[in-house]
Amino acid sequence: MVPSILSSAISLVSVDSTAYKIGTAIPTVLGLALLIGGLVALLRINRRDRATPTPVLPPSVPSTASHPDAMPPYRHSDAPHVSGMHKPKDRAKEIAIVCLAVGGVIVLGGLANSMQSASAEPERRIVIAETAGGVPRVQLTPEVTATLEQRRSAAAQKGIELQYGGYAHPAGGDAYILFLGGKQQASDPEQSINDFFAGIAESSGVQAKLTEYPAGDLGGEVRCAATTELRCAWADRTTYGMLMATNITEADLAALLIKMRPNLEQPK
């Protein structure tokens, strides 16, 4: 099992740091673009309106009954059709106002959701506990330890926090379960965990179908994927963590992750 777990660990910690930083920026950027675009358009329309002279209708004149040589009276039907002259401008102004309003709603909604999520979820940290969910910690081989330490240093240079530990396998013997986790850098757990597995797939060159599992009392998102070994991971707004193992079913590894998580992810 050592070569397989070692290969997986190398693939995991060599993922580019951008995989952990993609969150909910796209809706906010779109909202800002609409907000700024609508504001700029309104300013331009108002500036153009001030620079355009207002058409002046000719004054009415007395009837020609007493002045035969006078010009005939001005009739409304003789005036240029003014009512439709400003329709394009009015339509442009309406569109600009809609963009301004929609952009403002998106931006304010994003800020409100971020503030609510930040206040609702406590800060947590990763702890390599000696016992997690009743599962004792085991000593990793020097080969695996040396490789993980090297990769942890490389990840730290990219701003990625990585901690690891080995835990006893339910099957016993020399097999073990490898845990890796760290501080979360993204604001959207669902996007984060999808990017997490996408980064692993890109690094290893192996695509795997993700299966969603209940996240338990600590919330966030839990996904599992199977290739040559199983990976089950969680992601919330403050931490991420993953178990890797072979000779175990996906459902059992997901259940083990939920069982061990309270000891691996603790309040600050």
Q: What confidence score (pLDDT) does residue 10 get?
A: 47
Q: What confidence score (pLDDT) does residue 254 get?
A: 97
Stated pTM of the model? 0.60
Q: What confidence score (pLDDT) does residue 59 get?
A: 55
Q: What confidence score (pLDDT) does residue 60 get?
A: 53
Q: What confidence score (pLDDT) does residue 55 get?
A: 58
Q: What confidence score (pLDDT) does residue 217 get?
A: 93
Q: What confidence score (pLDDT) does residue 18 get?
A: 38
Which residues, including other chains, have CB under 8 Å from residue 91's CB and lie 6 or more apart? none
Of 198, 245, 200, 242, give the one whose Cα is nearest residue 222: 242
pLDDT per position as a tens digit, 14-32: 443 334 333 445 677 777 7
Q: What confidence score (pLDDT) does residue 150 get?
A: 94
Q: What confidence score (pLDDT) does residue 19 get?
A: 40
Count Cβ atoms below 10 Å from residue 243 Cβ, excluding itself: 26
d(CA 1, CA 175): 6
pLDDT per position as a tens digit, 213-242: 999 999 999 999 998 889 999 999 999 999
d(CA 262, CA 46): 59
Question: pLDDT tens string for the chain (268 positions)?
Answer: 545 555 554 444 444 333 433 344 567 777 778 778 878 877 887 787 777 665 555 555 454 444 445 455 545 444 455 444 456 667 887 787 888 788 778 877 766 555 554 445 678 999 999 999 999 999 999 999 999 999 899 989 988 889 999 999 999 988 999 999 999 887 789 988 998 898 888 888 888 889 999 999 999 999 999 988 899 999 999 999 999 999 999 999 999 999 999 999 999 8
Crossing angle for the helix pair 189-204 and 2-13, nearest 10 degrees?
120
- The letter for the amino acid at 213 is Y
pLDDT per position as a tens digit, 27-52: 777 777 877 887 887 788 778 777 76
d(CA 235, CA 121): 13
Longest C-alpha distance within the chain, in Å? 121
